[in-house]
Structure 1
Amino acid sequence: MAKQRKVSNLLGLAVLSTVAAKPMHPYEMASLMRERGKDRDMPIKWGSLYTVVRNLEKHGFLDVAESVRDGGHPERTIYRITDAGREELADWVRELIAVPEREQPRFLAGLSVWQVIAPDEVTDLLRQRLALLEKEIDGQREALTGYRREVPRLFLVEVEYELAIREAEAAWTRSLLDELTTGSFPDLAAWRAWHERGEMPPEVAELAERGGAPD
């Protein structure tokens, strides 16, 4: 089970990992995180950056290294990571790697109620999704090949993981499509009859009453 952290926003994790290299102003933090694609690795709301930085400072994970003024620009506060911040960063990373948590992607939400759409339409929608997935996978494979020429694998494992997840999703979607198109998917006839008749057949109603898979 995930720990209750004083700063739980994953943007805090990104900030700590960025500032661990050297002290910097929040604007520089944001620039580096964008350059490194952190907003692809984790949900980031850039508008909350200053609030997250202040919370990290409040809880002793960051402190002020210096305040500088550049010409007529407003004074800028440079933050550095503290020993407590380094400990929090390492502990947070350990937890994220070691402790699995159930994630709920949008696709899962759609699949949980897909029966409200006729199976033939679902099949068409899955074909659309698969085509987009395959295009995305091709792009990710090409990008990863390019990265490997210049970037040590130490800094590419999250890209490899994302690609593996996409490939697994595409393989599963392809298998599901095969069941729908060949007619081997269980309950397909009852599902199709429901939409053809405009009312839920008794066998489908029984399935709905039993509910989905247990948590």
Structure 2
Amino acid sequence: MKKRQVGNLLALAVLSYLSRAAMHPYELSKTLRNHGDARSIKFNHGSLYMVVQQLAKAGFVAEQEVNRDGARPERTVYQITDAGREELRDWLRELVGEPQHEYPAFVSALSMVAALSPNEVVPLLRNRLKGLADLRAEADRSIESSEADGVPALFLIEERYRISLLDAEIAFVQDLFAQVDDWGPMWAAAHGEEYRPE
């Protein structure tokens, strides 16, 4: 993967929205939230302002104007530059076309799960399954609501991808229960316990 001058994925979202229209950071924040991007990209008001400043320093965005509405503080409106448009396209080509190794927290936990007793892990996995089902239902509702509002399918692909990942994780955790039953006695013995399948 190419090293980016501003590598935060929030920067990619900012470039994408500024490629459509010039905006000030407050408006960008509102747009990100209204379009559900907070489900895909972690951000807050402070981090957004910092990313906009980093993009400006890199020459990917530039001040278009500074305006004031009544007694409100001044707002700087930013526009994307030609270099920013090229960065946006290059970065998207890379992310769409080249798989990269990611570090999900659940994968990290699974790599160390033997530190817990299987008698503790089984209820935790049941709890995780319920949470995954809730997330799956929430993603379904989001798609249904967006489709009812006339949002084209192209703009829902991240939700469909999220559902595919949730389905895969649900299947994995369900399969893991059977494997825990196989390993349970040996695993519990390592913790000085007897395996108590539910």
Alignment TM-score, normalising by the size of structure 1: 0.83
Alignment-derived partner of residue 40 in structure 1: 39
Q: Which structure 1 residue ranges, 5 or more long, are not aligned?
A: 199-215
Establish whether residue 158 from structure 1 lines up as the match of residue 154 from structure 2.
no
How big is each residue's C-alpha offset from its partner over 1:40-96, in whole Å with a ceiling of 9 and x where there is no partner?
112324312222112211221111111222223332211111111111111111111
Q: 1:190 aligns with which of 177, 186, 189?
A: 186
1-structure distance, mates of 2:134, 2:25: 36
Distance of aligned partners of 1:190 and 1:44 in 2 relative to their CA distance in 1, 3 Å threshold? same
Structure 2 residue aligned with 1:119: 118
Which structure's CA Rg is the greater one? 1
Q: What SS does the aligned partner of 1:51 have?
A: helix
Q: Please report how far the alpha carbon of residue 122 of structure 1 lies from its aligned counterpart in structure 2 after TM superposition.
A: 0.9
CA distance 1:72–1:39, change in 2 (3 Å): same
Does structure 2 retain, via aligned residues, the 8 Å contact 1:10–1:44? no
With 6-15 and 156-165 compared, the bigger mean Cα shift is at 6-15
Matched with 1:16 is 15
Paired residues in the alignment total 193
* 1:132 equivalent in alignment to 2:128: no
SS of the equivalent of 2:31 reads: helix
Alignment of 1:78-97 (within 5 A): 78-97=77-96
SS at match of 1:196: coil
For 2:56, the equivalent position in structure 1 comes to 57
Deviates more, 1:108-117 or 1:83-92: 108-117
Answer whether contact 1:17 1:89 (CA < 8 A) is retained: yes
Compute the RMSD of aligned alpha carbons. 1.7
Deviation at 1:188?
A: 3.4
Runs of 4+ in 1 over 3 A off after TM superposition: none
Secondary structure in 1 matching 2:62: strand
Task: State the 1:197 CA deviation.
Answer: 5.8
- 1:124-149 Cα offsets, whole Å, 9 max, x none, are 11111112211221232233223223
**Match of 2:29, as an amino acid?**
A
Q: More deviation in 95-104 or 38-47?
A: 38-47
**Which range is displaced more, 115-124 or 68-77?**
68-77
* CA–CA separation in structure 2 for the residues paired with 1:26 and 1:140: 27
User: Which residue is equivalent to 2:179?
Assistant: 179
- Matched residue SS, 2:191: helix
Name stretches of at least 5 consecutive residues in structure 2 with no aligned partner.
none
Name the aligned partner's letter for residue 17 of structure 1: S
* 1:156 counterpart SS class: helix
